[in-house]
Amino acid sequence: MPLSPADDVHMSDKITISKQFKEKVIRPILKAHFRRDEFLGRINEIVYFLPFCHAELIQLVNKELNFWAKKAKMRHNITLLWDREVMDVLADGYNLHYGARSIKHEVERRIVNQLAAAYEQDLLPRGCTLRITVEDSDKKLLKTKDSSSLEETERKAPTLRLEIVEKDSKRRKLDIQVPLNPDKISYSL
């Protein structure tokens, strides 16, 4: 079932950290880092950053896709649609060290760059409907039970593609040419 920009995902319950955990785990880490009690005594508030759960990652991906869908609609009258599987693939780009920024970067790298390249190559008619789809997904690959563990480790990441949805509900995949990379261009005199 395709998700549109109006769909919403609910966030999980709030997590609290016990006083015992703060005293037995957090305080020794701070003590080792700051070493002297006078520095440690100046800390009056600690903000804990916990990893996002999968539901929160899906909500972040949905929020970011909605942001770009609104922008595409306002600037170019382009409607963006996507499936839940697309959000799962983008959520896999989460990096614990970079937090929500990693999701923002993943959406820009895998979706927005394709949109920009397609627009530059005049592949997007004004007012069209675009659907983001997943190719080479695990769902398709896991249907064959003959795959060995070596094949599973060598399996490539799913590819996100753009399709134009025609008026008669037919889909046409966009053939987006990869932009030139200045580092890979050779010059001769």
Amino acid symbol at 163: E
Residue 179 CA to residue 181 CA, distance in Å, equals 6
Query: Could you tell me the CA-to-CA distances from 38 to 4, 27, 41, 111 in Å, in that order?
Result: 54, 14, 5, 49
Question: Residue for token digits 């003959």?
Answer: 146
Token pair listed for 121: 């190559």
Number of domains in the chain: 2
The answer to whether residues 40 and 104 belong to one domain is no
pLDDT in tens, 154-185: 556 788 999 988 887 788 888 887 765 666 65
Query: Please, what's the b/e burial string for 91-110 (b: 16 or more CB within 10 A of its CB; e: otherwise)?
Result: bebbeeeeeeebbbebbeeb
Same domain, residue pair 76 and 136: yes
List pLDDT tens digits, range 103-154: 999 999 999 999 999 998 999 888 899 999 998 755 544 444 444 444 554 5
Are both 58 and 142 inside the same structural domain?
yes
Residues 164 and 141 in one domain: yes
Show the domain range for 41.
19-48
Do 35 and 67 lie in one domain? The reply is: no
